Amino acid sequence: MRGQAKSETRPANAKGSSRGGAREAEKEKPVSAGNNGKGNTPSPSVNEPIIRVEDLTKEFQTGSEVIKVLRGVNLSVNPGEMLAIMGPSGMGKSTFLFILGLLQPATGGKYMAKGRDVFAMNRSDQARFRRRFAGFVFQSCNLFEHTTVYENLEFPLIYAGVRRKDRDPMIQEALERVNLTHRLHHPANRLSGGEQQRVSIARALVNRPEIIFADEPTGQLDRNHGNLVMDHFHEFIADQQSSMVLVTHDPDVADRCTRVVHLRDGVLHSQAQLAAEEIDRAG
Ligand SMILES: Nc1ncnc2c1ncn2[C@@H]1O[C@H](COP(=O)(O)OP(=O)(O)O)[C@@H](O)[C@H]1O
Ligand SMILES: [Mg+2]
């Protein structure tokens, strides 16, 4: 079915959910800072998707021209899943990720996250939801200039309203995950490229998000560092029973995800659909 990404799910490092139940119970509660409720309750409904989009569209207007980037994307991501989005450049992968991370509005469609209709929320509820629900790793590190590693990690916590006494252990934990505790008070712009990328990952994890959106997180790294970054993500997702959607061009990175979809012509295709279409075209 066009636009419906129904692809096979492979087992990867991610383990079965032990936190879906906690999330289920949380669904009706207001989301509050520092109350991510991780890992307390066994899960009765592991397969409730953490996010689901239906018929998502995105158009850009430039002058008199309308560019239709997303033409009806359908996608569900389950707790514990690590989904890779691949596709040629300019297809709208970053745009899609920005929309999922509530950093950019969609033109149309529906977006449910944790059972809540995200597009129906007002802007401040959307902002609050984003800060507490999602972590974002940008294509370039986007660290704050002239600040330390500590300050880069503290900022999202302040923004999410986490109390001062709770911040330090969370910062420590996030830096431990990327093996950078020894750089806590280092100026961020004096770190190597690989270290900066690890700080940007720690910054995305510091809030213990329930879903991480990462735009080519290993794009600037060599194979060894890319593998290490993927190890960090796997560890976090297994520990926290989070989920992840990442954009990548690297087949090795995609191989380490539980599922791969391809963005082509404004819709998502599973691996199997793409292979069948390529055989059709060749025939
Ligand atoms: N703010 C914008 N205004 C106009 N066009 C945009 C804007 N952002 C992205 N686009 C266009 O949307 C398309 C998809 O871009 P992008 O999401 O960055 O693709 P990808 O990440 O797959 O390389 C491109 O043609 C790009 O030029
Ligand atoms: Mg991009």
Task: Decide if pLDDT at 249 tops 90.
Answer: yes
Lowest-pLDDT range of 98-107, 158-167, 268-277: 268-277
Q: Which of 89, 93, 95, 249 to mutate to test the pocket of ligand 1 (most atoms within 8 A of CB)?
A: 95
The pLDDT tens digits of the residues spanning 27-45 come to 333 333 333 444 343 444 5
Instruction: Report if pTM > 0.85.
Output: no
Q: Which two tokens stand for residue 61?
A: 């207007």
223: how many CB neighbours lie within 10 A of its CB? 10
Element (H, E) at 44: none
Flag whether 81 is in a domain: yes
Query: Bridge-partner residues for 70, per DSSP?
Result: 58
Task: Decide if pLDDT at 264 tops 60.
Answer: yes
> Which residues line ion ligand 2, judged by CB < 5 Å?
94
Ligand nearest to the CA of residue 266, numbered in listed order: 1
Place of tokens 């819709």: 267
| Closest CA to ligand 1's atom 1 | 60
pLDDT of the residue at 142? 81
User: Ligand 1 site: residues with CB under 6 angstroms?
Assistant: 60, 62, 67, 69, 87, 89-95
Where residue 91 sits, what CATH number does that domain have?
Answer: 3.40.50.300
Mean pLDDT of all residues belonging to the chain: 84
Q: What percent of the chain has pLDDT over 90?
A: 67
Flag whether 226 is in a domain: yes
pLDDT of the residue at 159? 85
Flag whether 181 is in a domain: no
Ligand 1 atom closest to residue 247's alpha carbon, by position in its atom list: 21
The pLDDT tens digits of the residues spanning 43-98 come to 445 568 999 999 999 999 999 999 999 999 999 999 999 999 999 999 999 999 99
CB 152 within 8 A of CB 186: no
* Radius of gyration in angstroms for the set of CA atoms belonging to the chain, rounded to a whole number: 19
pLDDT of the residue at 45? 52
pLDDT mean over 189-200: 91
Phi-psi group of 192: left, alpha or beta (phi > 0 → left; psi -120 to 50 → alpha; rest → beta): beta
Flag whether 40 is in a domain: no
| Closest CA to ligand 1's atom 25 | 90
Distance 283 CA to ligand 1 centre (A): 32
Flag whether 218 is in a domain: yes
Flag whether 195 is in a domain: no
| Closest CA to ligand 1's atom 18 | 94
Flag whether 171 is in a domain: no
Ordered DSSP codes for 115-132:
TEEGGGS-HHHHHHHHHH
Flag whether 151 is in a domain: no
Ligand 1 atom closest to residue 215's alpha carbon, by position in its atom list: 21
pLDDT of the residue at 46? 54
What residue numbers bound the domain in which 66 lies?
50-145+209-282
Looking at the 3D structure of the chain, how many domains does it have? Answer: 1
- Strand pairing class (116-117; 211-215): unpaired
21: how many CB neighbours lie within 10 A of its CB? 18
